[in-house]
Amino acid sequence: MRRHSHWIMALALVYIDYKRYYFTTYLFCPMHRTHTCWELRTNHVWSSVTLAWRADDIRELWWMAFVTLRDRYGVTQIQVEPDVARTIKPEYCLKIVWDVGARPAGQENKEMDTGEIELKATSVEILNTCKELPFPIRDNVDSSEEYRFKHRFLDIRRKPVLENIKFRAKMNHFTRNWFTENEFLEVQTPILANSSPEWARDFLVPSRIHPGTFFALPQAPQQFKQLLMMGWVDKYFQIAPCFRDEDPRADRHTGAFYQVDLEMTFVEQQDVLNVLQAYGLAAVKALVPHKTLKFGDEVPMISFQDSMDRFGIDRPDLRIPGMEIVDLSEEVGDSKFGVFANTVKDGWLVRAINLKGKSMTRKELDATTAIAKQAGAGWLAYMIIEDSSTSEWTDIWWGIAVRSPIAKFFSPEELTIITKKLDAAAGDILFFGAGDWHLVCKVLNKVRMYFRDIYEMVDDNELAFCFIIDFPFYEYDDSRERRDFWHNPFSHVVWWLKGLEVESLHDVKTNQYDFCLNWYELGSWSIRNHDPEVMVAAFKKVWLSEEDIKKKFGAMYEAFQFGCPPHGGFAFWFDRFMMIMCDEPNIREVYAFPKSNKAEDLLMRSPSVVDDEQLEELFVKSVFEGGE
């Protein structure tokens, strides 16, 4: 009867909403196997089934032998004849036919999904054998990344790699469906595009049909998506492959990376922000429901200036409790401590943070100083705050005492103001940075991040989004007369032409923003400029003439003349978002086939030397003399 009902079920192609397995799995169940290694349960008892996949483990026990078969979905244990078992090694591909039985009461394996059934093989076929493995296939291997990537076809048999592949597929699926459901049109923009060396370095592709010319792989579909807005596409999105020929780094995949690219017409700042926020939160809830959102459904908004002043960086980790940077320039400017007083006299700054409730040894203080020095500081001043009743140091205020090599340079009144402003209590340590704004920000940020890590101040399962707003339009280095756009040169200038009539480029404001998560920049967004006159004026500020613009961005320049609607959008670093959601410290691991930290595909051995004839056809010549 049981067998009967099983077959009726299979034949009827019933929708089996059990975990996440639908009948479609059965519809396309390959002929080499009738079930996956996760599927068999007691309701399959008396069925004859065929499983096929890779041998995971082979064991002999008394007069019996067992093989566990593993696939993408799970594991099943099969009893085979001992002499058959001896012909099988781990990683062999097997096809096994058998009858399902129930395990005797008490012998179930509760830890295995398929642990309630027992199988006795009626036929075992070895579909493929396996050479000795160069490294063991375990969740955690100690092989070097280089060695693993070279054998990626084995490395992807490790569970963490499969989990990342599955997560990425899920994230792609979720993202595209989310935007599609919200009426965004997916448009695939060209991958053979034009060179824009004014941003990052381009990957170039010589053209055979047009000798002497080159395509470039797009650094971003920026111009294409803006041109789409000239048509009827009022909401565009794409998970776009982007390419930058940069040196490898930890949070960006060398060569190619993916961004969730978006553009909308007739939008203002709040519209773009709404979409970004809604997508970010929805993705977290759908993909990593075990994570907590520090601010719930809110996303705090912090100005660039404020973020730099309070956290020393424009992508602050808001999970860190307190420890914000406090300005003391006014308070210490007249002190007898020459280093601080002179710094302030030079027009620079003195700022400090308060490491609450931690004590540090001499060695630990030295290590902290080393961090500050790495960031460019000459030295790191500190003050240890003690309880005045037990301290041998001067009593200052409300019963606390300050222990520090520099304490003697300050009057009790000055120390009182400093400790009060930093909300210092006994058991705290204050750290000081002095110098120009950039240096102080950089040093105190590094020290904060160092404390975050050594004192484990943040919860890895917590996510803290924030918006950084009010970015400057230009990056401007007075000393070197270097001028460049801070982020996106196509952004809208606040007040249009009038907004450019300012004394210092620092004062040009733009509707341009960053979206951050923990301490990563997740993407940036802006309202675009849609007026060719403003475009010309904005580029002139970085020494680009109207002729240059026509040459470099001719299509945009021309398109703007024909009724371009107001528009805006964002670019969202897909890979980095995944990296954070998956707690994956190495961005290379979010790809199925990553490039190494030397920008090579060690598995496929690319890049590689090509035939001279291939180059001849493309009208280029390799001029590297070194050889490989």
**Which one of the spans 293-301, 323-331, 578-586, 597-605 is the region binding its own copies (CB under 8 A)?**
597-605
**Distances in whole angstroms, Cα of residue 300 to Cα of each of 77, 276, 314, 341, 539:** 52, 13, 13, 36, 32
Contact between 267 and its own copies per CB under 8 A: yes
Q: Which is nearer to its own copies, 271 or 346 (CB)?
A: 271
The interface with its own copies within residues 76-105 (CB under 8 A) comprises 91-93, 95
Chosen residue from 43, 194, 305, 416 binding its own copies by CB under 8 A: 194
The interface with its own copies within residues 438-477 (CB under 8 A) comprises none
Site size toward its own copies (CB under 8 A) is 142
The interface with its own copies within residues 482-511 (CB under 8 A) comprises none
Which residue has tokens 């002929």?
Answer: 31
Q: Which is nearer to its own copies, 472 or 568 (CB)?
A: 568
Residue 364: CA atoms inside 13 Å, Cβ hemisphere, count? 12
The interface with its own copies within residues 335-394 (CB under 8 A) comprises none
Please give the Cα distance from 25 to 9 (Å, whole number).
Answer: 14
The binding track of 219-258 with respect to its own copies, each residue x by CB under 8 A or -, is ----xx--xx-xxxxxx-----x-x-x-x-------xx-x
Which residue has tokens 């970004």?
Answer: 276
Q: At closest approach, how far in Å is the CB of 605 from its own copies?
A: 6
Identify each DSSP E strand in 23-116 by its residue range: 48-61, 64-70, 75-80, 93-102
**Which one of the spans 413-421, 422-430, 479-487, 606-614 is the region binding its own copies (CB under 8 A)?**
606-614
The binding track of 518-557 with respect to its own copies, each residue x by CB under 8 A or -, is ------------xx----------------------xx--
Contact between 113 and its own copies per CB under 8 A: no
Q: At closest approach, how far in Å is the CB of 52 from its own copies?
A: 5
Q: Which is nearer to its own copies, 8 or 133 (CB)?
A: 133
Q: At closest approach, how far in Å is the CB of 234 from its own copies?
A: 5
Q: Which is nearer to its own copies, 303 or 597 (CB)?
A: 597
Q: At closest approach, how far in Å is the CB of 461 from its own copies?
A: 26
Chosen residue from 564, 579, 581, 582 binding its own copies by CB under 8 A: 564
CA triple 348-354-360, angle to 5 deg: 115
Please give the Cα distance from 184 to 237 (Å, whole number).
Answer: 6
Please give the Cα distance from 47 to 66 (Å, whole number).
Answer: 20
Joined tokens for residue 271:
């519209």
Exposure string (b/e) for 124-148, b if CB count within 10 Å is 16 or more?
beeeeeeeeeeeebeeeeebeeeeb
Cα–Cα nearest to 416, from 388, 396, 387? 396
The interface with its own copies within residues 36-75 (CB under 8 A) comprises 52-54, 70-72
**Which one of the spans 151-159, 341-349, 406-414, 435-443 is the region binding its own copies (CB under 8 A)?**
151-159
The binding track of 279-298 with respect to its own copies, each residue x by CB under 8 A or -, is --------------------
Please give the Cα distance from 238 to 254 (Å, whole number).
Answer: 20
Cα–Cα nearest to 382, from 399, 362, 400? 362
Q: At closest approach, how far in Å is the CB of 517 from its own copies?
A: 21
Residue 70 pairs in a beta bridge with 54, 75
The interface with its own copies within residues 173-192 (CB under 8 A) comprises 173, 176-177, 180-183, 185-192
Chosen residue from 13, 64, 162, 367 binding its own copies by CB under 8 A: 162
Q: What is the helix (H) or strand (E) element at residue 110, kind and residue range?
A: none
Chosen residue from 39, 116, 202, 331 binding its own copies by CB under 8 A: 202
Contact between 628 and its own copies per CB under 8 A: yes
Q: At closest approach, how far in Å is the CB of 284 from its own copies?
A: 18
Cα–Cα nearest to 171, from 500, 516, 511, 578? 578
Joined tokens for residue 291:
């994570």
Per the CB < 8 A criterion, the answer to whether 502 and 493 are in contact is no
Q: At closest approach, how far in Å is the CB of 241 from its own copies?
A: 6
**Which one of the spans 281-289, 390-398, 443-451, 586-594 is the region binding its own copies (CB under 8 A)?**
586-594
Cα–Cα nearest to 50, from 34, 37, 27, 70? 34
First to last CA, the chain: 70
Q: At closest approach, how far in Å is the CB of 548 from its own copies?
A: 13
Q: At closest approach, how far in Å is the CB of 608 from its own copies?
A: 5
Q: What is the helix (H) or strand (E) element at residue 319, kind and residue range?
A: none
Please give the Cα distance from 102 to 84 (Å, whole number).
Answer: 23
Please give the Cα distance from 522 to 587 (Å, whole number).
Answer: 13
